[in-house]
Amino acid sequence: MKAATNQHDTRESWLRSASNELRPYFESVGYTLPNNIRFAIAFPSTGRRGARIGECWHSDTSEDGNFEIIIRSDQADPLDVLGVLVHELVHVVVPIDAGHGKPYRDAALKIGLTGKMRQAMPGPLLHDRLKELAAQLGPLPHARLNIDRGRDNKGPADRPKKQGTRMLKAECADESCSFVVRVASTPAREIGPPHCPKHGAMVVQWPEDEDTEAAGKPEDDAPEAV
């Protein structure tokens, strides 16, 4: 079977078109979707580690008065994305302070969401409607972002950083000398290694991830280009 052609070249275009197609359905159950909604597949405010796969920012929180709907970037199945979209669109049509309380629940049930309201997703009838909509829209121009791998495929940016030893061991360069001291890493880098009273500059045992060539040089405070 020949794959359907892409009708949309951006994720926002696809999501906006989906919302426009859902507009009459929302109106049929008494809710009007506003026009001032932006859409993105990115990271919600809880980031990678949070359980939130979708988020709606009310127009009152935006300087130009737009609603902002964000769907987490590891969501890529069109039907799943549409389910998250509908959940967030319900937030758009209820008051800003509704949360997942009664006003949200009343609207969500009318729209066709089921389950606990924080995780409410389409029930069977709405699921079938969204399945038809997904076919009508064509492929979603997005692939699942493997956020656990990080942008460099070496792990996420918020992974715990390796903790270097605060006090580093420094030994005399002369192997026959038993003079050993402990030195803080910052002074050792910025000023230089300590000195043995008899044999001069000592050898600092740097952690494996420490740049040993940085000893005696100030750290570069310029931001990393990514």
Q: Which tens digit of pLDDT belongs to each residue from 52-65?
A: 999 999 999 999 99
Clarify whether residues 133 and 171 are in a common domain.
no
Q: Stretch 92-109: mean pLDDT, rounded?
A: 96
Q: Are 191 and 207 in contact (CB under 8 A)?
A: no
Q: What is the mean pLDDT of residues 194-206?
A: 90
Give the pLDDT score at 1.
39
Q: Which residue has the higher pLDDT, 35 or 6?
A: 35
For 61, phi then psi, to 5°, come to: -90, -5
Chain mean pLDDT for the chain: 84
Mean pLDDT of 14-39: 96
114 and 18 assigned to the same domain: yes
The reply to whether 220 falls in a domain is: no
Report the SS3 class of residue 199. Answer: coil
Tell me: the pLDDT tens digits for 32-91? 999 999 999 998 888 777 789 999 999 999 999 999 999 999 999 999 999 999 999 999
The reply to whether 43 and 100 lie within a common domain is: yes
Domain boundary among 117, 137, 157: 137
Domain membership of residue 77 (yes or no) is yes
Q: Is residue 225 part of a domain?
A: no
Q: Mean pLDDT check: name the lowest of 10-19, 139-148, 149-158.
A: 149-158
Count: domains in the chain? 2
Alpha helices of the chain — where are they, by DSSP H? 11-28, 78-93, 102-111, 124-137, 185-190
Kindly report the CATH number assigned to the domain that includes residue 42: 3.30.2010
In degrees and rounded to multiples of 5, residue 39 shows phi and psi of -135, 145
Nearest-CA neighbor of 125 among 135, 115, 112? Answer: 112
In a domain, 162, yes or no: no
Q: What pLDDT does 32 receive?
A: 96
User: 0.75 exceeded by the pTM?
Assistant: no
Q: What average pLDDT does this structure show over 93-118? A: 96
Segments forming the whole domain that contains residue 181: 167-214
CA separation for the pair 88, 148 (Å, rounded) = 24
β-strand partners of 200: 196
133 and 175 part of one domain = no
The band of 214, judged by pLDDT with boundaries at 50, 70 and 90, is very low
* Same domain? 65 vs 116: yes
